[in-house]
Amino acid sequence: DTALDDIDAAEARRLTMPLLALWGSEGLPARLPTLKIWRDYADDVTGAEIPECGHFIPEEQPKALLAHLRPFLAGERSR
């Protein structure tokens, strides 16, 4: 997969579909500029940190996950 990612980057290919990035407030992703990272690869990025959550968002914070997924899938997102 890394080789394909390198080819896409060399050819300036970007993700053009809407992308929702979600991460937990605990762990490595919480210490990274997640939205900035994804915006380097995609044109339409939204996202949020899920409070009191680690890596397994569906298991740890299912209601918070649904609160983000429902509007995103309905096309009700803001940049």
Q: Classify residue 78: in a domain, yes or no.
A: no
Tokens for 8, please give them. 């896409």
Q: Classify residue 44: in a domain, yes or no.
A: yes
Q: What is the pLDDT of residue 28?
A: 84
Per-residue pLDDT at 68 exceeds 60: yes
Asked whether 27 and 13 are in contact (CB, 8 A), the reply is no
Which pLDDT tens digit goes with each residue over 7-62?
998 999 999 999 999 999 998 888 999 999 999 999 999 999 999 999 999 999 99
Per-residue pLDDT at 73 exceeds 90: yes
Q: Classify residue 8: in a domain, yes or no.
A: no
Q: pTM of this prediction?
A: 0.83
Asked whether 50 and 23 are in contact (CB, 8 A), the reply is yes
Domain boundaries, position 68: 16-73
Asked whether 54 and 27 are in contact (CB, 8 A), the reply is yes
Q: Classify residue 79: in a domain, yes or no.
A: no
Q: What is the pLDDT of residue 78?
A: 58
Q: Classify residue 36: in a domain, yes or no.
A: yes
Asked whether 68 and 78 are in contact (CB, 8 A), the reply is no
How many domains is the chain built from? 1
Q: Classify residue 10: in a domain, yes or no.
A: no
Q: Classify residue 4: in a domain, yes or no.
A: no
